[in-house]
């Protein structure tokens, strides 16, 4: 018999061999500053100021023992994950820099990036649920997220309970008690509380603090019993696409995992599709392991584009937010407008209270209710000239769409009615154009209704 060779103790030199400097004289550097350089050392890439795009499917090991060490990290045999670059389904320099920078915004220990927001959401859920489990989710969710729970996970014996976004602590306790009883009957557990706040397309907010308090009281915390792996845990995950990363930091309010369609504000130019999640390493590890198996990591070119986008995300979001406030001030008093679903003009005291505790800005995506129904809404949409008629949001340009007939078409009519996704709801995502030009465009399109 021959002896096994120990893996090497010294990890392969990486793009960032030294600890990152994130403070100066005790001052914590702000995300806007860290977006320019965190996670990248030009000296390791011929002095290139910006990271090159690493188009490679695999990475050469410096020795067989080093390769063994890296696989120990990838497969979980060694604590702490991969310490070296191995194979582009697992990791890559562009993706790792992006993940370091994305995590900064949410004050998260770790982050993972994916080929789309939906890839992130599907892999996240699959990493945590098993047969017999129950997912508790807020409503509405983005239609594909809701469909994945109701139509795909149900094929594997996973059930769900949903609650309206604005639910109170008492209502949340009741929903979780129901879910706990369902799980007990099915031989499973409540595996995840999945929130979307603000919700697409209504902008309804979920009280994250109340959800955490209810989870801790009814289920006994995030680790719902002794155990390791994902068998006995119930994280709170939240899709923060509409306000993140700037205006809502859900980890501060009790969420465990933050989810993004990076296609939206983070990408910000309507020229890429990607997704991300961030949170404590212990919550990321099971998801990383499944991503390693399935693939779905963002590609290097898209990761590089997202690095460029992150440098301006604060500027873009600030400008879009200011524009939206001006446009909504105009729309609010317009005779052809029946109301607005804009977080800067909330009418409901419960929603206002959640906003005041959780959000630092109203965002630039909102719904406008046109007087009339589908015909009047379509006439408005068809007459816009600056604003483009397209789904998606968070780009530099203004977009308008009709959720009931487009993104949420697959949602059954009764559910649409219950969630307030009406035929006269037009969703607008305001960009960074001149605000008075946008107002002129909305004015002339409304005149044709």
Tell me how far apart the alpha carbons of residues 212 and 222 are, in angstroms, rounded to a whole number. 9
Q: Can you list the positions of beta strands (E) in 228-312? A: 236-239, 257-261, 275-279
Residue 305 binds ligand PLP, judged by CB under 6 A:
no
Smallest distance from the beta carbon of 274 to ligand PLP, in angstroms? 6
Which residue's CB atom is positioned nearest to ligand PLP?
Answer: 117
Token pair belonging to 396:
């530099």
**Binding residues for ligand PLP, total number by CB under 6 A:** 13
Nearer to ligand PLP, 32 or 391 (CB): 391
Q: Is 250 in the site for ligand PLP (CB under 6 A)?
A: no
7, 12, 116, 351: residue in contact with ligand PLP (rule CB under 6 A)? 116
Per DSSP, the three-state class of 442 is helix
What is the Cα Rg of the chain in Å? 23
Among 159, 197, 203, 263, binds ligand PLP (CB under 6 A): 263
Which CB, 230 or 261, lies closer to ligand PLP?
261
Residue 34, C-beta contacts closer than 8 angstroms, at least 6 positions apart: 22, 101, 104
**Nearer CB in complex with ligand PLP: 115/312:** 115
Residue from the set 94, 113, 159, 241 that interacts with ligand PLP by CB under 6 A: 241
Smallest separation, CB 260 to ligand PLP (Å): 8
* 54 contributes a contact to ligand PLP by CB under 6 A: no
- Residue range at the interface with ligand PLP (CB under 6 A); choices 84-92, 115-123, 155-163, 228-236: 115-123
Residues 326-350 as b or e (16 or more Cβ within 10 Å = b): ebbebbeebebbebbbbbbebeeee
Q: Which of 158, 205, 246, 273 binds ligand PLP (CB under 6 A)?
A: 273
Name the one range near ligand PLP by CB under 6 A: 18-26, 88-96, 116-124, 309-317.
Answer: 116-124
CA distance 236 to 58: 35
**Is the Cβ of residue 121 or residue 224 nearer to ligand PLP in the bound state?**
121
Least distance to ligand PLP from the beta carbon of 91, Å?
A: 21
Smallest gap from Cβ 191 to ligand PLP, in A, equals 20
**Rule CB under 6 A: is residue 261 a binding residue for ligand PLP?**
yes
Q: Which is nearer to ligand PLP, 59 or 366 (CB)?
A: 366
Work out how close the CB of 201 gets to ligand PLP at its nearest, in angstroms, rounded to a whole number: 8
Residue 49 has a CB neighbour count (10 Å cut-off) of 9
CB of residue 93 to ligand PLP, shortest distance in Å: 23
- The answer to the question of residue 240 lying near ligand PLP (CB under 6 A) is no
Residue closest to 219 by CA, chosen among 231, 229, 232, 230 = 232
- List, as one string, the DSSP characters of 322-348: HHHHHHHHHHHT-TTEEEEE-TTS---
Q: Residues 180 to 239: which contact ligand PLP by CB under 6 A?
A: 196, 200, 239
Nearest to 337 by CA among 203, 446, 204: 446
List, in sequence order, the alpha helices (H) in 106-244: 117-128, 143-147, 169-186, 208-219
- Please list the alpha-helical segments (H only) found in 359-411: 374-383
- Tell me how far apart the alpha carbons of residues 28 and 26 are, in angstroms, rounded to a whole number: 6
Restricted to residues 334-373, the positions that interact with ligand PLP (CB under 6 A) are none
Q: Of 251, 245, 233, which is closest to residue 191 (Cα–Cα)?
A: 233
State the Cα–Cα distance between residues 304 and 326, nearest whole angstrom: 33
Report the C-alpha gap between 195 and 28 in whole angstroms. 30
276 touches ligand PLP by CB under 6 A:
no
| Residue 263 or 398 with smaller CB distance to ligand PLP | 263
Residue 443 to residue 449: CA distance in whole angstroms: 10
- Closest approach of ligand PLP to the CB of residue 446, in Å: 25
Tell me if 321 contacts ligand PLP by CB under 6 A: no
Residues 117-146 that bind ligand PLP (CB under 6 A): 117-118, 142
- Least Cβ distance, residue 144 to ligand PLP (angstroms): 6
User: Please, what is the Cα angle at 129 between 218 and 168, to 5 degrees?
Assistant: 35
DSSP letter at 253 equals G
Q: Which residues of this chain interact with ligand PLP, rule CB under 6 A?
A: 116-118, 142, 196, 200, 239, 241, 261, 263, 273, 275, 392
């Amino acid at each position: 018999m021959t002896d096994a060779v120990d893996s090497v103790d010294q990890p392969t030199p990486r793009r960032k061999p030294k600890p990152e400097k994130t403070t100066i004289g005790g001052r914590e550097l702000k995300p806007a500053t860290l977006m320019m350089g965190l996670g990248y050392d030009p000296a390791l890439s011929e002095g290139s100021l910006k990271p090159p795009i690493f188009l490679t499917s695999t990475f050469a090991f410096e020795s067989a023992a080093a390769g063994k060490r890296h696989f120990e990290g990838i497969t979980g045999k060694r604590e702490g994950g991969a310490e070296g670059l191995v194979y582009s389904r697992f990791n890559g320099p562009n993706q790792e820099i992006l993940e370091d920078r994305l995590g900064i915004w949410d004050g998260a220990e770790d982050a993972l990036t994916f080929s789309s927001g939906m890839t992130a959401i599907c892999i996240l859920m699959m990493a945590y649920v098993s047969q017999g489990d129950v997912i508790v989710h807020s409503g509405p969710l983005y239609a594909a997220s809701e469909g994945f729970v109701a139509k795909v996970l149900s094929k594997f014996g996973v059930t769900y309970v949903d609650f309206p976004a604005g639910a109170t602590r008492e209502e949340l306790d009741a929903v979780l008690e129901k879910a706990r009883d369902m799980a007990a009957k099915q031989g499973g557990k409540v595996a995840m509380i999945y929130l979307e706040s603000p919700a697409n397309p209504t902008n309804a907010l979920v009280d994250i603090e109340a959800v955490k308090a209810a989870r801790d009281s009814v289920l006994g915390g995030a680790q719902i019993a002794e155990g390791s792996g994902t068998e006995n845990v119930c994280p709170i995950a939240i899709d923060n696409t509409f306000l993140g990363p700037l205006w809502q930091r859900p980890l501060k309010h009790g969420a465990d995992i933050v989810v993004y369609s990076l296609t939206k504000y983070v990408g910000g130019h309507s020229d890429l599709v990607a997704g991300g999640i961030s949170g404590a390493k212990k919550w990321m590890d099971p998801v990383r392991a499944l991503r390693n198996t399935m693939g779905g990591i963002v590609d290097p070119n898209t990761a590089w584009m997202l690095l460029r986008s992150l440098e301006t995300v604060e500027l873009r979001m600030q400008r879009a937010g200011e524009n939206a406030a001006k446009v909504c001030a105009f729309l609010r008093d317009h005779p052809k407008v029946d109301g607005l679903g804009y977080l800067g003009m909330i009418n409901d005291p419960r929603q206002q209270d959640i906003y005041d505790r959780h959000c630092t800005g109203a965002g630039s995506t909102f719904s406008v209710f046109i007087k009339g129904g589908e015909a009047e809404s379509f006439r408005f949409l068809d007459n816009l000239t600056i604003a483009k008629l397209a789904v998606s949001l968070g780009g530099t340009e203004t977009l308008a769409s009709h959720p009931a007939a487009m993104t949420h078409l697959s949602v059954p009519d009764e559910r649409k009615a219950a969630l307030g996704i009406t035929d006269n709801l037009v969703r607008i995502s305001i960009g960074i154009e001149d605000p008075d030009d946008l107002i002129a465009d909305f004015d002339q399109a409304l005149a044709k209704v």
